[in-house]
Structure formats: structure tokens, C-alpha cells
């Protein structure tokens, strides 16, 4: 058994810092780096890449709608044609900077409102896949199993990596518990570790109200860098998995 642990990173901007990149890179095995459209700037990007190199963590790009103030979480109505150009610009910028640091860019994972769009909209997903793979057909895409993005990746012959969450509750219909509910997040490290173990070992997730279990397949588990106690959560998850003989390594 084998699993990747991933976190978002590089979400500081100019004078403002966000996240716990330094601590998380000690535990996770891959990071998705903000590309400058919702967070990140060239200085932050370079420092994050250097941190990943020192920590031996695999790197990916985390492109977004162009919306720093809304942190890429406000949906924007953008055509598939423009979406493709916008994602290609971002992925190219990060890929080039990674290359300059001697790192390959292994994956692309959409951020925020763009993530939700390409999980559900086939045209947008096709544009996203074209942009992500335009300069490297070997790059992976990361997202929900069964999503529009997975289908678009399959059409394009690009590897898709299914992701589940160690720090979020799920509802009975398979969706994530809305962030508007106070219990959307799992912040107790041992709870997160139990959920991670259940996903990796049994392929199952117990839903928020404990009424049933969902079947799930995942090659990577995500911890959100802005979840309170994210580094402790990641450490507890990794310790539990390794204690059970699961190999924790980049996909």
C-alpha cells in the first residue's frame, strides 16, 4: 500500500504570509504551489521551490482565477478558451521557475473556484487539461475521482491522480461538508489519522453524521495549509499510515 500526502503552498504575497509551508514540507510528499493569480509572487514562488528542493518534496502548480482579493474563491464567468490561456500562462511560469531550481513540475491541481468549475464543467475541464499538459504530456492532474476533470484527462491520455481529504468531512452524497458549517473541518489529529487510515487501508470514508461509509479510491490525501494545526494533522496522519506499513511517497 502506498499514498501521497499533499498540501497547498506558496500562498503568501508581498508583505503578507499565509500557511505553514516550512513545517508541512517536513511531512507531506508533494505540494501544489500558487502561481501568482490568487496568491504567490515571483519571490514567494522561488522561496517555495527552494524549500521543496531542500525537503525533497514533489512540486506541482496550483493555478487559479485572477483574483487575489477573493483568494481565487469567487467564481468568475470565463470562457473555456480564455481559461485555457490563463492556466497555460500560470503553469508555464511555475514550470520555468521550477526548472531553474532543478525541479520538474510533476502535477497541476486547480485552486478554489476554478477547482469546482473543472470538476463539473466538461468544456472547462478540457481547456484545463490542454493547458496543464501543453508543455509536458507526462504531467499529472489532481482532483476528485469521477469528476469532469478526470474524464477530460482520460480523453487526453493524461494521468489523473484521485485525491481525498484528511481534514474535511464528507456528506452521504460524496460531497465535502460545506465550509459554512462549523464542523466542516477535521482539526483533531487523531480523527484525521483515523479517516486517512480508513481511506488508504479500506478504501472507505465514514460520513460526517456517521450514518454510513462511502467507498473511495485515492492516490493522494490533501491537508489544507490553512486548516488550524495543519502540520500536526499531517504528522499524525503520516505516523499512523507508516505505523500500519503504508508507504508514504509522492505519486
Nearest to 215 by CA among 171, 175, 174: 174
CB of 77 to its own copies, least distance (A): 4
DSSP assignment of 110-172:
--HHHHHHHHH-HHHHHHHHHHHHTT-TT-EEEE-TTSHHHHHHHHHT--EEEEEESSB-B-T
The answer to the question of residue 135 lying near its own copies (CB under 8 A) is yes
The answer to the question of residue 138 lying near its own copies (CB under 8 A) is no
The two beta strands, 204-206 and 213-215, are antiparallel
The answer to the question of residue 25 lying near its own copies (CB under 8 A) is no
Nearest to 118 by CA among 92, 147, 93: 147
CB of 92 to its own copies, least distance (A): 2
The answer to the question of residue 17 lying near its own copies (CB under 8 A) is yes
DSSP 168: B
Give the nearer residue to its own copies in terms of CB position, either 17 or 190. Answer: 17
Angle, helix 189-197 to helix 230-243, in steps of 10 degrees: 40
Cβ atoms of 122 and 152 within 8 Å: the answer is yes
Give the nearer residue to its own copies in terms of CB position, either 78 or 194. Answer: 78
The answer to the question of residue 7 lying near its own copies (CB under 8 A) is no
Segment contacting its own copies (CB under 8 A): 26-34, 84-92, 207-215, 216-224? 84-92
The answer to the question of residue 183 lying near its own copies (CB under 8 A) is no
Binding residues for its own copies restricted to 215-234, rule: CB under 8 A? none
Cβ atoms of 185 and 149 within 8 Å: the answer is no
Give the nearer residue to its own copies in terms of CB position, either 41 or 213. Answer: 41
The answer to the question of residue 134 lying near its own copies (CB under 8 A) is yes
The two beta strands, 160-165 and 220-223, are parallel
The answer to the question of residue 113 lying near its own copies (CB under 8 A) is yes
The answer to the question of residue 100 lying near its own copies (CB under 8 A) is yes
Cβ atoms of 105 and 10 within 8 Å: the answer is no
The contact pattern for its own copies, residues 39-78, with x = CB under 8 A and - = no contact, is x-xxx-xx-------------------xxxxxx--xxxxx
Helical ranges in 140-185 per DSSP H: 148-156
Residues found near its own copies in the complex (CB under 8 A): 11-18, 36, 39, 41-43, 45-46, 66-71, 74-78, 81-82, 85-86, 88-97, 99-100, 113, 134-135
Amino acid at each position: 500500500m502506498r499514498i501521497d500526502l499533499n498540501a497547498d503552498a506558496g500562498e503568501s504575497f508581498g508583505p503578507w504570509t499565509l500557511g505553514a509551508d516550512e513545517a508541512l514540507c517536513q511531512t507531506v510528499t508533494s505540494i501544489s504551489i500558487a502561481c501568482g493569480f490568487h496568491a504567490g509572487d515571483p519571490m514567494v514562488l522561488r522561496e517555495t521551490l527552494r524549500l521543496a528542493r531542500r525537503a525533497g518534496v514533489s512540486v506541482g502548480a496550483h493555478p487559479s482565477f485572477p483574483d487575489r482579493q477573493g483568494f481565487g474563491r469567487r467564481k468568475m464567468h470565463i470562457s473555456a478558451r480564455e481559461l485555457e490561456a490563463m492556466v497555460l500562462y500560470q503553469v508555464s511560469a511555475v514550470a520555468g521557475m521550477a526548472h531553474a531550481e532543478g525541479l520538474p513540475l510533476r502535477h497541476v491541481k486547480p485552486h478554489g473556484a476554478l477547482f469546482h468549475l473543472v470538476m463539473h464543467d466538461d468544456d472547462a475541464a478540457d481547456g484545463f487539461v490542454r493547458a496543464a499538459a501543453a508543455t509536458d504530456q507526462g504531467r499529472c492532474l489532481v482532483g476528485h475521482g469521477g469528476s469532469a476533470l478526470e474524464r477530460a484527462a482520460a480523453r487526453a491520455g493524461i494521468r489523473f491522480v484521485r485525491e481525498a481529504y484528511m481534514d474535511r468531512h464528507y456528506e452521504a452524497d460524496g460531497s465535502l461538508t460545506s465550509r459554512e458549517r462549523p464542523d466542516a473541518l477535521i482539526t483533531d489529529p487523531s480523527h484525521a489519522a483515523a479517516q486517512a487510515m480508513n481511506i488508504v487501508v479500506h478504501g472507505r470514508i465514514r460520513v460526517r453524521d456517521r450514518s454510513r461509509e462511502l467507498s473511495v479510491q485515492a492516490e493522494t490525501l490533501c491537508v489544507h495549509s490553512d486548516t488550524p494545526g495543519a502540520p500536526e494533522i499531517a504528522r499524525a496522519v503520516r505516523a499512523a499510515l507508516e505505523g500500519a506499513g503504508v508507504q508514504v511517497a509522492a505519486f
